[in-house]
Structure 1
Amino acid sequence: MLWKAIEPLGRVPEHVMLVALGLAVLLSIALNSITHSRVTIGILLVCISLAVSRLQLRESIGVGLLAIAGLVVAGELSGSPAEDLSLMLSVCLIFLVTYAAKQRKATRAAEAREAVLAERARIAREIHDILAHSLSAQLVHLEGAKLLLRAERTAEALDRVTRARDLAKSGLDEARRAVSALREDPPALPVALRTLAEDFETTAHRSCTLRISGAEHRLTPETELALLRTAQEALTNVRRHAPGSPVQVELAFDRTWCDLRVTNPPSAEKGSPGGGYGLVGMRERAELLGGTLSAGEHDGGFLVHLRVPS
Structure 2
Amino acid sequence: MPGTDRRHAALVDGLVALGVLLGWTLAVTLLARTGLWSPRWQEAHLWAGVGLAVPLALRRAAPAAGLWLTVVLYPLGYAVLTYGATVQADLHAAPLLVAAYAATRARAVHPLVAGAVGAVATATLATGADNVRLLLSGGAGPASPALGDPSDTLLLVLLVVAATTLGTVAGRLAATTRSLELRNAELHALQAQRERAAVRAERTRIARELHDVVAHHVSAIVVRAQAADRVGDQRPEEYRDAVRWIAPAGREALTAMRSVVRVLRAADEAEVPLSPVPGLTELGNVLERVRGSGLTVEAALPDPLPPCPPEVGLAVVRVAQEALTNVLVHSDAPRARVELSRRPGRLSLRVEDDGPARTGAAGGGNGVVHMRERAAACGGTLAAGPEGGGWVVALEVPVP
* Structure 1 residue ranges without an equivalent (≥5): 1-14, 31-64, 267-272
User: 283, 286, 298: which one pairs with 1:196?
Assistant: 283
8 Å contact kept, 1:201–1:208? no
The structure with the largest helix share of the pair is: 1
8 Å contact kept, 2:320–2:351? yes
The aligned amino acid for 2:279 is A
Once the two structures are superposed, what CA deviation does each residue of 1:227-246 show, in whole Å capped at 9, x if it has no partner? Answer: 22013345678999768x99
Q: 1:167 to 1:68 in 2, by over 3 A?
A: farther
Larger Rg: 2
User: 99, 104, 108: which one pairs with 1:76?
Assistant: 99
Match of 1:211 in 2: 302
Q: 1:203 to 1:276 in 2, by over 3 A?
A: same
Residues 268-307 of structure 1 aligned to structure 2 (within 5 Å) = 281-288=366-373, 289=376, 291-294=381-384, 304-307=393-396
How far has the Cα of 1:124 moved from its partner?
Answer: 1.1
Match of 1:154 in 2: 236
Match of 1:226 in 2: 315
The aligned amino acid for 1:158 is R
How far has the Cα of 1:96 moved from its partner?
Answer: 0.4
Q: 1:163 to 1:202 in 2, by over 3 A?
A: closer
The aligned amino acid for 2:180 is V
User: Aligned Cα RMSD in Å?
Assistant: 5.4
8 Å contact kept, 1:292–1:306? yes
How far has the Cα of 1:179 moved from its partner?
Answer: 6.8
Q: Which moved more, 1:158-167 or 1:275-284?
A: 275-284
State the alpha-carbon separation in 1 of the partners of residues 205 and 234 from structure 2. 45
* Structure 2 residue ranges without an equivalent (≥5): 21-58, 68-94, 102-117, 119-159, 264-271
1:106 aligns with 2:193: no
Q: 1:143 to 1:203 in 2, by over 3 A?
A: closer
State the alpha-carbon separation in 2 of the partners of residues 107 and 166 from structure 1. 47
How far has the Cα of 1:142 moved from its partner?
Answer: 3.3
Q: 1:192 to 1:218 in 2, by over 3 A?
A: closer
State the alpha-carbon separation in 2 of the partners of residues 212 and 279 from structure 1. 37
State the alpha-carbon separation in 2 of the partners of residues 262 and 229 from structure 1. 12
Q: Which moved more, 1:130-139 or 1:165-174?
A: 165-174
Residues 125-274 of structure 1 aligned to structure 2 (within 5 Å) = 125-146=208-229, 151=233, 153-175=235-257, 184=274, 186-187=276-277, 192-197=279-284, 210-211=301-302, 218=309, 221=311, 225-233=314-322, 248-252=339-343, 254=345, 258-262=347-351
Q: 1:116 to 1:126 in 2, by over 3 A?
A: same
User: 162, 168, 171: which one pairs with 1:88?
Assistant: 171
State the alpha-carbon separation in 1 of the partners of residues 275 and 219 from structure 2. 30
**Is the partner of 1:211 in helix, strand or coil?**
coil
Q: 1:114 to 1:180 in 2, by over 3 A?
A: same
TM-score (ref. length: structure 1): 0.52
8 Å contact kept, 1:282–1:293? no
State the alpha-carbon separation in 2 of the partners of residues 210 and 276 from structure 1. 30
Q: How many residues align?
A: 235
8 Å contact kept, 1:141–1:161? no
Once the two structures are superposed, what CA deviation does each residue of 1:99-139 show, in whole Å capped at 9, x if it has no partner? Answer: 21231232123212211221111101210222223223323
State the alpha-carbon separation in 2 of the partners of residues 275 and 167 from structure 1. 26
State the alpha-carbon separation in 1 of the partners of residues 360 and 276 from structure 2. 30
Residues 19-98 of structure 1 aligned to structure 2 (within 5 Å) = 66=60, 75-76=98-99, 80=160, 82-83=164-165, 84-98=167-181
TM-score (ref. length: structure 2): 0.42
The aligned amino acid for 1:194 is T
State the alpha-carbon separation in 1 of the partners of residues 288 and 176 from structure 2. 69
Identity value in percent: 25
